Structure 1
Amino acid sequence: MDFCPCGSLKPYQSCCEPYITRAVSAPTAELLMRARYTAYAKGAIPFILETTLEEKRKECDEKAIRDWSLNSQWHKLEIISTSGGGEDQSEGIVEFIAHFTEYGVKKNLHEKGTFKKLNGIWYYVDGTIEKQQPFTRAEEKISRNDPCHCGSGKKYKKCCMKQ
């Protein structure tokens, strides 16, 4: 069985294929996002362009989109959250992480995508890339030669570090 790349665990033919072939329109912003991810994974560039809001299409570099789509191995789509974007709404935001390998390097794209519904059809407007937050410690790091935090007066390496 050919599972859909969007991660729904449904067969491709009954999941995103009807949207990509334009047999039906995606009823929600999240389903359009899933179909667009699948289009990247399957190399369905016309669908990616057609589902971009018309005013934003001129900003699309079709060659760059095609190269990225075809030169990447698409591993997984994680939907982090959705805000709006329901069947009875006209705007929505879908936060997602697309995991892929490009030219042998594993990468991910963490984005908040904005979607708009016009005449009953959802379109991708644009996205904001979410920067990965740096790791921060909850407490200060204790060095080997610092006084031990237990209050013994000994160096950390001679006291609690040994335990």
Structure 2
Amino acid sequence: MPDNAPCPCGSALNLDDCCARQHRGTPAASAEQLMRSRYSAYVLGAIDYLQRSTLPAQQAGLDLPAMRLWSENSRWLGLEVLQHEPLGGQPAHARVSFIARWADAQGEHSQHECSAFVEHQGQWYFLDPGVPLKAGRNDPCPCDGGSKFKKCCGPLLP
């Protein structure tokens, strides 16, 4: 996809002025911007970016081949951001509620999700609910934010 094409995330910007900036290494300014850039990464097959933008403590648990397969075998139909909810805290947390649409060999699909994010050292990360964190309630949080897991990222994960 050319960089001057409309950004897949649905913003009014072209790809080069929007999500491609995060894909090239510019930190997302908000959890919503990170979530939009992750959707665009699925559209573009940028699985390495999806891995880098997931909480580092969860990256080794990602099923990268499955993510790549889903990205490549889907025709991405659009993203609708419903709500961006900054939750504050130290480190900062946020939730982003959205609907992603795609089509594959089985037909058209949509996924309504409310994703959780944490900011650490100026970088936002996705908290993947499908990758368990190996931390007890009183253990330090794997986001390295300095708090106990039960007071930091723990309440945002199932």
Q: TM-score, normalised by structure 1?
A: 0.72
Q: Distance in 1 between matches of 2:22 and 2:48?
A: 12
Would the alpha carbon gap of residues 41 and 85 (structure 1) be closer, same or farther in structure 2, given more than 3 Å must change?
farther
SS of 1:9's equivalent in the other structure is coil
Mapping for residues 16-95 of structure 1, pairs under 5 Å: 16-22=19-25, 24-84=26-86, 90-95=92-97
Q: Structure 1 residue 115: deviation in Å?
A: 0.2
**For residue 116 of structure 2, what is the aligned residue in structure 1?**
114
Question: Cα distance, 1:73 vs. partner?
Answer: 0.7
Distance in 2 between residues matched to 1:96 and 1:121, nearest whole Å: 21
What residue identity is the alignment partner of 1:14?
A: D
Please tell me whether residue 3 in structure 1 is matched to residue 6 in structure 2: yes
Aligned residues: 126
Q: Which amino acid aligns with 1:2?
A: A
Q: For the residues of structure 2 that align with 1:39 and 1:73, how far apart are their CA atoms? A: 13
Indicate if the aligned counterparts of 2:91 and 2:120 stay in contact, CA closer than 8 A: no
- Three-state SS of the structure 1 residue aligned to 2:29 is coil
Q: Alignment identity in percent?
A: 35
Comparing 102-111 and 48-57, the one that deviates more: 102-111
> TM-score, normalised to structure 2's length?
0.75
8 Å contact kept, 1:3–1:10 = yes
Displacement of 1:127 in angstroms is 4.6
Offset, 1:21: 1.2
SS of 2:128 mapped into structure 1: strand
Tell me which stretches of 4 or more aligned residues in structure 1 moved more than 3 Å.
none
In 1, the alpha carbon distance for the partners of 2:85 and 2:91 equals: 10
CA distance in 2, matches of 1:6, 1:104: 23
- Aligned equivalents of 2:86, 2:44: Cα separation in 1: 27
**2:78 is matched by which residue type in structure 1?**
K
Structure 2, unaligned runs of 5 or more: 131-158
State the distance in 2 between where 1:44 and 1:82 align: 23
Deviation at 1:56, TM superposition (A): 1.5
